A and B are shown apart, each in its own frame.
Chain A
Amino acid sequence: MLADFINPYHLQIASFILINILLAISVYVPLSSGQLSLGSAGFMGVGAYTSALLTIHFDLPIFVGVLVGAAVAGCLGIIIGIPSLRLSGVYLAIATLGLGEVIRVIFVNWESLTKGSIGLTGIPQMGRELLKLARNVGIEPAMFGLRNNQFVYLMVFVILLILVIGTIWFVFRQQNSRIGRSFSSIQMDEKAAESMGINITYFKVLSFSQGAFLAGLAGALFAHVMGYISPSDFSYHRAVEILIFTVFGGSEVIIGSIFGAIFLTLIPEVLRFVSEYRYIIYGIMLVILMAVRPQGILDIHLLSKFKRLKRSKGGVR
């Protein structure tokens, strides 16, 4: 009965959407303190390669690999974040863009470790490991009337969903805390924030490395969902794609990043004939968006309008 509803293909797209949401948030968090990072693809690559290499060569469980991958990316974020404090705006964007390219070139050239541009294969896949685990405790997919591959994709989706909801919850809670308010005051006016006694260094590095951590987490998950990674997965184009998720959806509110990631991952899947021209459309869209609505589709005004609309409807009933 349940089996009729579960389509592995749909579940896989849903999993990609969830990973893209994580990536979009990884751009959103630094941006919420006024830092535009174009290095998210690089951090994603660091997370993916770290986790993949650890699980391949040392037979570590996947969740350890993912955690270490994200942590390594986060540490790299701190290391890069501290000196980058001297840079702002456009300079930071270019420095992080440069960082991403350096990371990619290292992946291509460090052949003894990364297999160069061919990429890493045979990365333990999350779904299969979960199936093995489930069998060990005596749970069979057939008990729920599912085929093996349905069970695998469902489990991956559920795990990712839990992680994404956890992340959104964390970022959302953080926004309404002292830390979040410090971020937004730094974004508004750095000097004013400093004179109010906010430790700019600490909070900027914090938001930057949180972004790096999230990108690393998404990269590590990506590696274990795909089972195969290569340096071209983490190129400049990926960085721009991630940036578009956030900018398109709305860079002022977290809902915007989520919406952007969902919408822009779905569109090429739904409209097959569009996918060939996807990047051309992306390009035109960015230009129009910046001219007409630079804050993205969703912003605070629109959201509060929705809220009011809902409330008035409720009143009528």
Chain B
Amino acid sequence: MLLEQFINGMTLGSIYAIVALGFTLVFGVLGIINMAHGEIFMVGAFVGVMTTGVLGWPLWLAFVASIVVTSILGYLLETFTLRPLRGKRGVSHLAPLISTIGVSILLENLSHHLFGAGNKPFRTEFAEMSIEIGSLTIYIVQIVIFVISIILMIGLSIWLSKTKAGKALRATAENLETASILGVDTKKIITLTVIIASAMGGIAGILVGMAFNSVSPQMGLAIGLKGLAIIILGGMGNVKGAMVGGLILGLSETFLVAYGDSGYRDAIAFIMIIVILLLRPQGIFGSKIAEGR
């Protein structure tokens, strides 16, 4: 029972971690919170539902479609909402926050109109399959989700630390002007960051669809807010923090549902951020709080 809950928690937590990575990448490079990330993620989930359910595509093709669609959304987000605000005089630091809230409202209500308000089931061919080890039941879906998340996290870490583009991204995150003086095409890196973050949101969307077997226009908000809570928990812009924070939230939610009051499940994330902001505002892994943000 305990081990089973632990596995459930890890599965949920690894999805949360992927969502949070999207937030943390954008925050690390641009210093803004992308409130539309949750809705991009939701669109990714709907692309998954439509391609596998309506068109009957295999799962891997659904992943590709979702990544393509969310990448385009990320590109549009950068071009039309983030870039016009950058480097403009007299724009307060709250402007990108409000602007991305605008995008999130737009996307949520657009999908409300397109797909309807209700939950859509997400069918996978191996939804009911499970392995039994002794008294332990593990669903194949859980393994798939967990493996994909781990691959994604390791891949991102290697990409960030080893490749040239990843190093350029970290340099830009460190200091935009210096990076640009040293010959990094910061404009390209920023666009790339937003696209990668959005694509990760798209993947996370399909993973959540698989895990909960349902997709709705409101899920972007619910999961997006949790992602936000995680990056505060782990430290803003910190990649390791987002992963650990995601796992912590996933585990604590699962154990609360199993042994406590399931009604307060959605409140944990926020109680956690309020507590962490008061005790250690820079987050678990954060080094110092950035000035003026």
Contact = CB atoms under 8 A, between A and B. Distances in A.
Contacts of A283: 102-107, 109
A91 B81 contact: no
Contact of A236 (B33, B94, B221): B221
Given A109-B263, A283-B109, A94 B101 contact: no
A91 B98 contact: no
A98 B270 contact: yes
Interface residues of B, number: 48
Interface in B71-86: 80-81, 84-85
B274 A98 contact: yes
Interface string B104-141: 11111110010000000000000000000000000000
Interface residues of chain B: helix, strand, loop or mixed (majority): helix
Given A91-B281, A286-B102, A291 B84 contact: yes
Contact of A290 (B102, B228, B267, B274): B102
A282 B92 contact: no
Which one of A91, A93, A94, A247 has the highest number of Cβ atoms from chain B below 10 Å of its Cβ? Answer: A94
Contacts, number: 127
Given A280-B110, A286-B102, A94 B95 contact: no
Nearest to B102: A286
Chain A: number of interface residues, binned into ranges: 35 or more
B102 A284 contact: yes
Dominant secondary structure at the A interface = helix
B19 interface: no
Given A283-B103, A284-B106, A101 B267 contact: yes
Interface in A64-111: 83-84, 86-91, 93-95, 97-99, 101-102, 105-106, 108-109
Given A88-B293, A93-B97, A236-B221, A286 B232 contact: no
B293 to A, nearest CB: 5
Interface of A: 36, 83-84, 86-91, 93-95, 97-99, 101-102, 105-106, 108-109, 236, 240, 243, 247, 277, 279-280, 282-287, 289-291, 294-295
27 contacts: A84-B277, A89-B93, A89-B293, A90-B97, A90-B293, A91-B277, A94-B33, A94-B228, A94-B232, A99-B270, A102-B271, A105-B264, A105-B266, A108-B263, A109-B261, A109-B264, A279-B108, A280-B106, A282-B105, A283-B105, A283-B106, A283-B107, A284-B106, A287-B81, A287-B99, A290-B99, A290-B102
